[in-house]
Amino acid sequence: MESHMDLRISYFPGKFIQGNHAVKELDQFIQLFGGRPYLLVTPSMKRVVEEYGYDRYDHEFMRRPCCWKVIDELVERIRDQDYTVIVGIGGGKIVDIAKAAADKLDLKVILVPTVAASSAAFSACSVIYTEDNIEESVYYEKHSPDVLLLDNSLIMGAGTRHLVAGMGDALAVYFEAKGCVRSGAENSLHAKQTFCALAMCDYCLDTLLQYGLEAKTACDKKTITPAVERIIELNLLSAGIAFEGGGLAAAHAIHNGLTILPKVRQYLHGEVVAFGVLSELHLTHADPEETDRIYTFCEKIGLPTTLAQIGAGDMTPEVLKEVAQAVYHDPYLHHEGSDITVEDIYDAMSAADAMGRDRKAVAK
Ligand SMILES: [Zn+2]
């Protein structure tokens, strides 16, 4: 994708719908887009698809990585069948596969994310993995999703851990966009930040701090309260606008560096990004009061504040150095500024972990 730093760019999904049993509205959008859907469904949603009668449409249950082999095979399977729209019902991988396949076939795409663990369903890109599940590249689609349909009940059914991880991913937008603006770096659409995206960054941080704990507590009790609904919308809509039009920086670079470690890859994206945010605060010498506020928030809602909580507690200094090298070579890191060294990254991650551990020791 070309760079357009003379332009401010944001993309948006065509339609956004959210409600407690919103999946029942799916059919009207299928009909709106030609009435010939192909459904990609995560196996845990089999009951839901049957209950609403969507199994009358051609569909398949899929639990595969979002890699080119899977996407290409799917495209070959459904090409020339007169489908008008692909519907993805599932987590991040299903929605990314659905978006990429629809793009290749020039079909409409409707997404029904069943977790709010990241803003993947919002964006006009798919994260492509290798067949062994290692992040490989980002594929940019021609269009944003046509419909983003959020069913609060389904998303809450995925459990608190996913909702909290989504808050970890959303927590990053404010700090990363600020880094991009400070250093004149591009947003995720290779252009200048829109003011709308920057306003969403402020909104995300304020709303997470205000409603995050309330939403987590309600989700634990399996109750859909206004706070839960607000946070689901934030994780999938506001954070989407914010990250795509605002830009990524150190927190995601640190996530990408840490995921060279197989143990870390077993944690959710937003959980690792949250540790990236804490490291970013140390890297940028954030105001101590702000740092304290963010640690407190993470501790309260159960986001990781130490390396041990993302499976990297036994890392030797040599391995941490390797991670810091990987972070350094990640292009997002330099959205934070051009003068950051490998040592700075190493120190920031060590300091983030030490502060997390110290605070836990004091709390005991
Ligand atoms: Zn993310």
Residue 255 falls in the annotated catalytic set: yes
Report the DSSP beta bridge partners of residue 61: 41
How many Cα atoms within 13 Å fall on the side-chain side of residue 333?
26
Residue 122 has pLDDT above 80, yes or no: yes
Q: Which of 96, 151, 162, 269 is catalytic?
A: 269
Q: How far is Cα 349 from Cα 315, in angstroms, rounded to an integer?
A: 12
Residue 134 has pLDDT above 90, yes or no: no
Q: What are phi and psi of 149, to 5 degrees?
A: -115, 115
In this predicted structure, what is the pLDDT of residue 261?
Answer: 95
Token pair listed for 163: 């909702």
DSSP 13-26: -SEEEEETTGGGGH
Can you give the pTM of this predicted structure?
0.95
In this predicted structure, what is the pLDDT of residue 324?
Answer: 98
Judge contact between 264 and 311, C-beta under 8 A. yes
In which band, very low, low, confident or very high, does the pLDDT at 2 lie, cut at 50, 70 and 90? Answer: confident
Residue 1 has pLDDT above 90, yes or no: no
Ligand 1 centroid – CA 177 distance (Å) = 13
Ligand 1 centroid – CA 107 distance (Å) = 26
Report the DSSP beta bridge partners of residue 38: 86
In this predicted structure, what is the pLDDT of residue 15?
Answer: 97
Ligand 1 centroid – CA 126 distance (Å) = 12
Q: How far is Cα 133 from Cα 194, in angstroms, rounded to an integer?
A: 33
In which band, very low, low, confident or very high, does the pLDDT at 132 lie, cut at 50, 70 and 90? Answer: confident
**For domain 160-363, is the CATH number 1.20.1090.10?**
yes
Residue 252 falls in the annotated catalytic set: yes
Average pLDDT, the chain: 96
Judge contact between 173 and 234, C-beta under 8 A. no
In this predicted structure, what is the pLDDT of residue 364?
Answer: 79
Token pair listed for 281: 């605060």
Q: Which of 96, 146, 151, 252 is catalytic?
A: 252
Give me the residue spans of the domains in the chain: 4-157, 160-363
Residue 269 falls in the annotated catalytic set: yes
Residue 169 falls in the annotated catalytic set: yes
DSSP 273-292: HHHHHHHHHHHTT--HHHHH
Ligand 1 centroid – CA 135 distance (Å) = 13
Candidates 32, 54, 29, 31; CA nearest to 41 is 54
196-201: long-range contacts, CB 8 A cutoff, minimum separation 24? 196/10, 196/241, 196/245, 197/10, 197/241, 197/242, 197/244, 197/245, 197/246, 198/242, 198/245, 198/246, 200/173, 200/238, 200/239, 200/241, 200/242, 200/245, 200/246, 201/173, 201/174, 201/177, 201/242, 201/246
| Residues in contact with 172: Cβ distance below 8 Å, sequence separation at least 6, in sequence order | 243, 248, 251, 252, 273, 274, 276, 277, 280
Ligand 1 centroid – CA 118 distance (Å) = 6
CATH for the 4-157 domain, from 3.40.50.1970, 3.50.50.60, 3.40.228.10, 2.160.10.10:
3.40.50.1970
Q: How far is Cα 87 from Cα 97, in angstroms, rounded to an integer?
A: 10
